[in-house]
Structure 1
Amino acid sequence: MPSGVVLYGPPGSGKDTITHELTRLRADFALFERLKTGSGRTTGYRLTTVDQIEELSRAGGLLYRNTRYDAEYAIDRHGVAALVDAGRVPVLHMGQVVGASAVAAFPLHWVRVLLWCPLEVTESRSIGRGDRDVDARVKVWHETREDLLAHETEPWTLTLRTDQMSPTESANAIIDALAAPASAESRNIRELVG
């Protein structure tokens, strides 16, 4: 069965960096570019309209949609299928546990990866990369922590502390999990998020 990777974590936890490392190590990994409408970053997204997202939703073409940073995002079935049909391993970035669960409706061997870093690391990385919305990202870090605590029995294939592992170590752990019949299991979320 083809595989896919879900990277879930707060802002600054390394989703972009680890995806870059995965694609550097293996050409079959590909960032899944979510549909997006609204303000903010455009790199790594397929820009669309609210009407198009609504149309896909009515037709059953969405796996998940959410709003954050004054924008709307969606994961469409066709986009995931196009990567799989091209022999690629889609890498999805998620900021909500329910989204990480919702994509399981697409039949792939999903490796679910919980990325975590402390608040000060999120803030430092956000400032370091020149984000103009550092305060909003700090707020989302807190929301992510609460989201995890509200879903603490949610199963994860891997939990990676990106402030303690290099991007290469993290990417290799994900590659190993894809190769092994590793199953997702509940983790000690309260210990992880402090």
Structure 2
Amino acid sequence: MNPKQGVVLYGPPAAGKDTVTAALTKLHSKYAQFARLKVGTGKSAGYRMGTAEHLRELEAAGDVVYANARYGNTYAIDRPGVDAAFAAGVPVVHLGQVDGIRALVDGYPADWSVVLLWCPREVTEQRSAGRGDSDTAARLAAWDATREDLDAHPGTAWDLMVDTTASAPQDAARLIDQLLSQRAGAPQA
């Protein structure tokens, strides 16, 4: 029996994580974006909003696989949330930190396909402004942090790398789906 499969999309802000995930879900209903637990303010779409107390309870129970702070909020990948996502299909987890990838891959047993989505800094700026973000400067700072993160972890192994300025979201989704199909058919070690 093959282990459950999940997808990690890593990349800077506006690299196309949401857009590629939407293309994946359109390609096949088994895919669904993992809604991280968010403690803070601002955008709530795509997140499960929580309280600091709830996060502390999860931490005390050992159920926080990974948490990070950005844009004045805390974002967490929690074990009960990932369990529910796998029960529903193939979770697509968005991350912007290599440490988060390592924490998830090492801390939650599954067959994780790790995909690097990339775009240049100026494209992040154009896309952020084009979608009406009020915090484009913070997103550019996050782009810089993502570049530094990659430079600090040169040995990171990617199952797939996609330049989202050269590949349409539908093409990226097909490549990811093919990757998972190939991995599902491969003999397990």
Question: Quick one: distance in 2 between partners of 1:62 and 1:37?
Answer: 13
Question: Quick one: distance in 2 between partners of 1:20 and 1:63?
Answer: 25
Please say if residues 62 and 77 of structure 1, whose CA atoms lie closer than 8 Å, have aligned partners that are also in contact: yes
Give the match's secondary structure for 1:175: helix
- Match of 1:38? 40
Residues 121-132 of structure 1 mapped to structure 2, 5 A cutoff: 121-132=123-134
Runs of 4+ aligned residues of structure 1 deviating over 3 Å after TM superposition are none
Please say if residues 6 and 112 of structure 1, whose CA atoms lie closer than 8 Å, have aligned partners that are also in contact: yes
- Match of 2:28? 26
Question: Quick one: distance in 2 between partners of 1:85 and 1:6?
Answer: 17
Give the match's secondary structure for 1:90: strand
- Match of 1:95? 96
Alignment equivalent of 1:153, drawn from 152, 155, 180: 155
Please say if residues 66 and 74 of structure 1, whose CA atoms lie closer than 8 Å, have aligned partners that are also in contact: yes
The CA deviation at 1:39 is 1.8
Please say if residues 9 and 95 of structure 1, whose CA atoms lie closer than 8 Å, have aligned partners that are also in contact: yes
- Match of 1:136? 138
The CA deviation at 1:83 is 1.8
Q: How many residues align?
A: 181
- Match of 2:110? 108
Question: Quick one: distance in 2 between partners of 1:162 and 1:25?
Answer: 18
Please say if residues 8 and 94 of structure 1, whose CA atoms lie closer than 8 Å, have aligned partners that are also in contact: yes
- Match of 1:188? none
- Match of 2:76? 74
Q: TM-score, normalised by structure 1?
A: 0.91
Which ranges of structure 1 fall in alignment gaps of 5 or more residues?
183-194
How large is the RMSD of aligned CA atoms in angstroms?
A: 1.0
Question: Quick one: distance in 2 between partners of 1:84 and 1:48?
Answer: 20
Identity over aligned pairs, percent: 50
The CA deviation at 1:7 is 0.3
Q: Which amino acid aligns with 1:95?
A: G
